[in-house]
Amino acid sequence: MAQLSRLCILILLISLSTGCAERTSTLIAVTTEPSVPQMPVEECPRTALEHWLQRSSNLTQELSDVVNGNIAIQPEQAFNVINDLSAIRSALELARAPQCATAHAAALSEALNLADAYFSAYSARRATDPVGTLTRINSLLDQARALEQELMRLYSTLP
């Protein structure tokens, strides 16, 4: 996100500085290096991060599939979804996030907790604001995917 902001500021500055000059049809290519999270290597062993990324990326997709694939179910069917969410929670706990992946694990856990609360309330016919809740869950999953990308960049730099 910071890179995108820096890129937008750079483009804005370029357009402002060329706005007073004669316009040309020359395109300016701007590239930036991807940022790598600054993390002491001892807090992120390569094998632990590799194991986490292999498992967590599958769990992120599985959670997304469970939530979005069961939007239109009947309240009586929510029990099966809650069981699926419980299995995902168990697998997430077994995966054990390394120290450098705690924010990623927290985003997944928060999405999982919100999904569990929603489908529990839905099964009891007490769910309020399903659109807002499902939007929030998907937003958390998007956040988890972005953090996962940062961890993959970090992984590529580890010895």
What pLDDT is recorded for position 159? 86
As to burial, measured by CB atoms within 10 angstroms (0-12 exposed, 13-18 middle, 19+ buried), residue 155 is middle
Percent helix, strand and coil across the chain, each to the nearest 5: 75, 0, 25
| Predicted confidence (pLDDT) per residue in 40-94, tens digit | 445 789 999 999 999 999 999 999 999 999 988 999 999 999 999 999 999 999 9
| Predicted confidence (pLDDT) per residue in 134-155, tens digit | 999 999 999 999 999 999 999 9
Is pLDDT larger for residue 64 or for residue 30? 64
Domain edges within the chain: 41-157
The whole-model pTM stands at: 0.71
